[in-house]
Amino acid sequence: MDKLVVHGGSPLEGPLTVGGSKNTALPLMAAALLADGSTRITNVPNLRDVRTFSNVIRVAGPAVTFDADANTLTIDASTVNHPVAPYELVKKMRASFYMLGALIGRCGEAKVSLPGGCAWGPRPVDLHIEGMKAFGADIELEEGYVLASAPGGRLDGGTFRLDPSSVGATINLLLGAVTAQGPSRIENAAQEPDVVAFGEALKEMGAQIDGLGTNTIEIQGVDALTPASFRNTPDRIELGTFMLMAATAGAPGQPVEVRRGTHEHLGDDFKERFAETGVDVDYADEVVTVTRPETLQPVSIETAPYPGFPTDLQAQWTVLLGLADGTATVTDTIYDDRFKHVPELQRLGMEISVEGNTATVHGGAPIKGAQVMSTDLRASVSLVMAGMVAEGTTHVLRVYHLDRGYEHLEHKLQDAGINIHREEYEEFDEPAAEPVS
Ligand code: EPZ
pLDDT digits (tens, 9 = 90+) for 1-27: 999 999 999 999 999 999 999 999 999
Residue 209 belongs to a domain: yes
Is the beta carbon of 126 within 6 A of some atom in ligand 1? yes
Same domain, 81 and 181: yes
Q: pTM of the full predicted structure?
A: 0.96
User: Does residue 126 belong to any structural domain of this protein?
Assistant: yes
Give percent of the chain with pLDDT exceeding 70. 97
Give 302-339 pLDDT, tens digit per residue: 999 999 999 999 999 999 999 999 999 999 999 988 99
pLDDT digits (tens, 9 = 90+) for 252-297: 999 999 999 999 999 999 999 999 999 999 999 999 999 999 999 9
Instruction: State whether 14 and 117 are in the same domain.
Output: no
Ligand 1 nearest atom to the CA of residue 404, by list position:
29
Identify whether residues 210 and 105 lie together within a single domain. yes
Domain match, 281 and 172 both: no
**Three-class SS of residue 135?**
coil
Per-residue pLDDT tens digits for 194-236: 999 999 999 999 999 999 999 999 999 999 999 999 999 999 9
Range of the domain at 129: 22-231
Q: Name the active-site residue from 118, 224, 275, 354.
A: 118
Residues 291 and 204 in one domain: no
**Each residue of 139-188: pLDDT tens digit?**
999 999 999 999 999 999 999 999 999 999 999 999 999 999 999 999 99
Q: Is the CB of 236 under 6 A from ligand 1?
A: no
Q: Do 212 and 310 belong together in one domain? A: no
Kindly report the CA angle at 376 between 84 and 42, in degrees rounded to 5?
60
Ligand 1: residue whose CA is nearest its atom 28: 312
pLDDT for 122 equals: 75
Q: Which atom of ligand 1 is nearest to the CA of 171?
A: 19
- CATH number of the domain within which 60 lies: 3.65.10.10
Q: Which of 215, 132, 118 is nearest to 167 (CA)?
A: 215
Please state, in angstroms and rounded to a whole number, the distance separating the CA atoms of residues 31 and 307. 24
201 and 251 assigned to the same domain = no
- Tell me which residue of 258, 305, 308 sits closest to 279, measured CA to CA: 258
Query: Residue 397's beta-bridge partner residues?
Result: 373
Say whether both 339 and 203 belong to one domain.
no
In a domain, 59, yes or no: yes
Dmax over CA atoms of the chain, in Å, equals 73
Nearest ligand 1 atom to the CA of 306 is 12
User: Ligand 1: which residue has its CA nearest to atom 23?
Assistant: 124
Q: Which of 191, 215, 231 is the last residue of a domain?
A: 231
Nearest CA to ligand 1 atom 13: 23
Residues 6 or more apart whose CB falls under 8 angstroms from that of 397 comprise 1, 3, 371, 372, 373, 374, 425, 427
- The Cα–Cα gap between 129 and 194 comes to 21
Last residue of a domain, one of 181, 208, 231: 231
pLDDT of residue 430: 66
**Percent of the chain surpassing pLDDT 90:** 95
In whole angstroms, what is the distance from residue 54 CA to residue 74 CA?
Answer: 10
Residues 82 and 214 in one domain: yes
Is 299 part of any domain? yes
Bridge partners of residue 111, in order along the sequence: 84, 147
CB atoms within 10 A of CB 215: 16
Question: In this predicted structure, what is the pLDDT of residue 20?
Answer: 98
Q: Is residue 434 part of a domain?
A: no
Please determine, for residue 358, whether its predicted confidence score (pLDDT) is greater than 60: yes
**Cβ 88 vs Cβ 61: under 8 Å:** no
| Ligand 1 pocket, mutate which of 44, 334, 338, 376 (most atoms under 8 A from CB) | 334
Q: Are residues 47 and 131 in the same domain?
A: yes
For residue 435, is it within any domain? no
Outline where 35-166 has alpha helix (H).
Answer: 48-60, 87-90, 99-107, 126-134
Final residue before a domain boundary, out of 181, 198, 231: 231
Res 336: pLDDT: 84
> Would 395 be classed as within a structural domain?
yes
Is 107 among the residues known to form the active site?
no
Establish if 135 belongs to a structural domain: yes
How far from the centroid of its chain's Cα atoms is residue 48's Cα? 12
How many domains does the chain contain in total? 2
- Residues 257, 382 within the same domain: yes
283 CA distance to ligand 1 centroid (A)? 28
Please state the atom number of ligand 1 nearest to the C-alpha of residue 94: 25
The pLDDT of residue 111 is above 90: yes
Instruction: Judge if the beta carbon of residue 405 lies within 6 A of ligand 1.
Output: yes
Query: Which residue out of 132, 166, 171, 239 has the highest number of ligand 1 atoms within 8 Å of its CB and is therefore the one to mutate?
Result: 166
Rounded to whole angstroms, what are the CA distances from 13 to 69, 139, 214, 382, 419? Answer: 26, 54, 38, 19, 12
Same domain, 252 and 354: yes
Pocket test for ligand 1, best of 167, 266, 338, 340 (most atoms within 8 A of CB): 167
Distances (CA, A) of 150 to 174, 390, 416: 15, 56, 52
pLDDT digits (tens, 9 = 90+) for 27-86: 999 999 999 999 999 999 999 999 999 999 999 999 999 999 999 999 999 999 999 999
For residue 117, what pLDDT is reported? 67
